[in-house]
A and B are shown apart, each in its own frame.
Chain A
Amino acid sequence: MSGLDNRFLRTPREQRSLTQQSLFRLLFLVMTSLLVVPVFGILLVLIVRGGPGLSLDFFLDKPRKGMTAGGIFPALIGTLWLTSGALLLAFPLGVSAAIYLSEYARDNWLTRTINIAIVNLAGVPSIVHALFGVGAFVLFLDFGASILAASCTLAVMTLPVVIVATRESLQAVPHSFREACWSMGATRWQTIWRLVLPNSGSGILTGVILCISRAVGETAPIMFTGAVYWVAYTPEGVFDQTMALSLHLYNVSTQVPNVPPGLPFSVALTLIGVVLVMNATAIAFRMRLRGRKRW
């Protein structure tokens, strides 16, 4: 009957399980911590080495002395042009496609083909997109190497992600709402307009901005399609060529001789800053609109 006295005591087997559990907990914690090391490492290095180079002049001046001095103004403006262009193209296209796929399309071979195409498009390397951009936009559509061609290429590259993000936001609206709408005789469009979009708008905007912010840093798709090593002016229209931050970073890091060591870091810091500002906008959108979620 000795077993009765210690029935609630820890057994050796249980002790082993507990040790095992703590070990795994520690392992996962270490792995997770490792994850943040590169993030902070990158930021730290950039701030320490690139921070001192930042100044109002740096943002507002042209590159001088064969890129080894001066600022990055044309590249900064060029990146804004390219990104806005990509956003203007990818947003309506991607959102429309997502609405079609989520709200209208039935499960048939066409829909499945489109879905496979989207998934595969997302996996195409950016350099391949670049070559496609040269063929399709620069040459075939005769945009020339221009902001338009480069924005189109960026848009094509981000489209699949925009579509997937938007579709997920749409699908997050409960099906029972759609059913309620339909059962009162609403058409699909009335359901989308009055119910689905108002309740998924914040998610869509956030998703799209996050996707596009990734396009800010892309170099390959723009280097053959519209971004150039150096231009003496800031762009005035979509058929101009332009400098861009990402390409500028590549150039000052690898192509230009005698660059002061801090300069590439300052450019990189600016680039990351632009991305962070876009992401912060997305987060602000989400916080502002999430309060209006109503279920």
Chain B
Amino acid sequence: MASAKPQTATANPEAGPRWAIESKGLNLWYGTFQALRDVDLQIKHGIVTSLIGPSGCGKSTFLRSCNRINERLGYVSTTGTIQVLGQDIYGPDISPIQVRRQVGMVFQRPNPLPLSIRENVLFGQHIHRDDRIPRAEADQLVERALREVLLWDRVKDRLGRKATSLSLEEQQKLCIARLLPMRPEILLMDEPCSALDPEATRAVEELIWELRGKYSILIVTHNMAQARRASDECVFMLLGRVIEHARTEDMFVTPKKPETADYIEGRFG
């Protein structure tokens, strides 16, 4: 649970990596603009951690560094390290493709592929497997993934329909579902609810809470209330730096830094 303080508690290093994600001295530049400055963060296993801060503070950049999707831009340079599940993902032998496969990502606008619902869920299998997936196995994968995101009962009769015909809420859930057959341990979510109405937001938040425990979830949000409702820990970033990282209830009740207090009370941002 979030209340544990594992910094000192994890005595046995053989018990697996201590952190889901750990960055050390992470600096990142887009061309000459420095978006991240000496970011040291430890994200715990199995909980929901939210990243908050004003626009341009680097929270999405950090998120996008955790599955190396940033590199696609081509003009990004990085120093420092990010360890995911104990491995430096910027290490020399690391395949970004395997990183992206095992660190799932959900985007701001639901972006289901222009395929059927079923094919969306199976897409990861298609790109990562050489053999044809047997029909029964595929059915099972689809059902399990859609059940996990609480979508199965609503779409089981129309799996062949285009994913883009779903409502935004369902699309966003589908975007989460299509990650699950690749068995990620970490889910990154970049403002997953900002394109949704309040009702859909509530539904997706409930889903995130449902997935908590099975996955380590890192979520960027603009919505302070959401961070407060739906995360165990909270990281406040400002101008590329981590200002404060604490349990969510602590940060919102007794922020330690004046900048954090200013931000969560709405004095800027």
**A and B co-occur in one complex:** yes
Whether A294 and B164, one on each chain, are in contact in the complex, defined by CB atoms closer than 8 angstroms, is: yes
Whether, in the assembled complex, A214 has its beta carbon less than 8 Å from a beta carbon of chain B, the answer is no
Whether B123 and A199, one on each chain, are in contact in the complex, defined by CB atoms closer than 8 angstroms, is: no
A162-216 with Cβ < 8 A to chain B: 174, 176-177, 179-187, 190, 194-195, 199
Q: Which of B74, B111, B114 meets A179, CB within 8 Å?
A: B111
B96-126 with Cβ < 8 A to chain A: 97-101, 104-105, 107, 109, 111-115, 123-124, 126
Chain B residues bordering chain A, tally (CB within 8 A): 30
Question: Which residue on chain A has the smallest CB distance to residue B178?
Answer: A184
Complex alpha-carbon distance, A107 and B76, angstroms: 13
Please give the distance in Å from B189's CB to the nearest CB on chain A: 11
Please give the distance in Å from B22's CB to the nearest CB on chain A: 21
Whether, in the assembled complex, A295 has its beta carbon less than 8 Å from a beta carbon of chain B, the answer is yes
Q: What residues of B have a CB within 8 angstroms of the CB of A179 in the complex?
A: 69, 72, 107, 111
Complex alpha-carbon distance, A199 and B113, angstroms: 11
Q: What residues of B have a CB within 8 angstroms of the CB of A180 in the complex?
A: 107, 111-113, 175
Q: What residues of A have a CB within 8 angstroms of the CB of B72 in the complex?
A: 179, 182
Whether A183 and B69, one on each chain, are in contact in the complex, defined by CB atoms closer than 8 angstroms, is: yes
Best-surrounded residue of B97, B99, B104, B111 (most CB of chain A within 10 A) = B111
Give the number of residue pairs across the A-B interface with Cβ within 8 Å: 68
B43-84 with Cβ < 8 A to chain A: 67, 69, 72, 74-75
Whether A185 and B74, one on each chain, are in contact in the complex, defined by CB atoms closer than 8 angstroms, is: no
Whether B162 and A106, one on each chain, are in contact in the complex, defined by CB atoms closer than 8 angstroms, is: no
Q: Are A183 and B162 CB-contacts (below 8 A) given A107-B74, A199-B114, A294-B115?
A: no
Whether, in the assembled complex, B179 has its beta carbon less than 8 Å from a beta carbon of chain A, the answer is yes
Whether A176 and B111, one on each chain, are in contact in the complex, defined by CB atoms closer than 8 angstroms, is: yes
Complex alpha-carbon distance, A184 and B101, angstroms: 5
Question: Which residue on chain B has the smallest CB distance to residue A181?
Answer: B113
Q: Which of A106, A107, A177 meets B113, CB within 8 Å?
A: A177
Whether A177 and B182, one on each chain, are in contact in the complex, defined by CB atoms closer than 8 angstroms, is: no
Please give the distance in Å from A183's CB to the nearest CB on chain B: 4
Complex alpha-carbon distance, A294 and B161, angstroms: 11
B164-185 with Cβ < 8 A to chain A: 164, 175, 178-179, 182
Complex alpha-carbon distance, A85 and B118, angstroms: 42
Whether A183 and B114, one on each chain, are in contact in the complex, defined by CB atoms closer than 8 angstroms, is: no
Complex alpha-carbon distance, A180 and B111, angstroms: 7
Q: Are A184 and B69 CB-contacts (below 8 A) given A176-B107, A294-B115, A294-B162?
A: no
Whether, in the assembled complex, B128 has its beta carbon less than 8 Å from a beta carbon of chain A, the answer is yes
Whether B114 and A182, one on each chain, are in contact in the complex, defined by CB atoms closer than 8 angstroms, is: no
Whether B128 and A185, one on each chain, are in contact in the complex, defined by CB atoms closer than 8 angstroms, is: yes
Chain A residues near B (Cβ < 8 Å): 106-107, 174, 176-177, 179-187, 190, 194-195, 199, 293-295
What would 14 A/B residue contacts be, using CB atoms closer than 8 Å? Answer: A106-B74, A177-B114, A180-B113, A181-B113, A183-B67, A183-B69, A183-B104, A184-B182, A185-B98, A185-B124, A185-B127, A185-B182, A194-B126, A194-B127
